[in-house]
Amino acid sequence: MKYVTVTVLIIIIGIGVFSLFNQSSNPVKEITTTELKEQMKADQTAVYVDVREVDEFEDGHVEGMKNMPLSSFAETHEELPKDKEIVLMCRSGNRSMQAADFLTQQGYSIVTNVAGGMLSWDGPVK
């Protein structure tokens, strides 16, 4: 019985340590498009970036977003300030998460991804 208790305890501690490590290994925060709407109204200091390609952006985008296509993001990301929150959006949330992961690797500490991207956006587009 002792061995079962010790084994269960080790498993529980292992899961806890893994969960803690997993949370801290990805500092990218995710928000919904509803939260994005609220934040854009309240927070004018964050930088809002749409990483879709130029033609996608021109077909319709959220007003206030700057277009920085993922295809050239490695060359243009240095335009973004490291001391402000960078909020990233794309069509579905996948490319923006790639850009978010890239930014954190480059030393950006306040990075947010919009989960669901334009597919989830139900507000006006420009």
82: which 2 tokens? Answer: 């490291």
Active-site option among 36, 90, 97, 118: 90
Cα(7)–Cα(22) distance, integer angstroms: 22
Cα(106)–Cα(115) distance, integer angstroms: 21
Query: Within a 10 A sphere around the Cβ of 110, how many other Cβ atoms?
Result: 18
90 is catalytic: yes
Cα(57)–Cα(51) distance, integer angstroms: 8
CA-based radius of gyration for the chain: 19
The Cα diameter of the chain in Å comes to 66
The DSSP letter of residue 96 is: H
Active site (catalytic) residues: 90
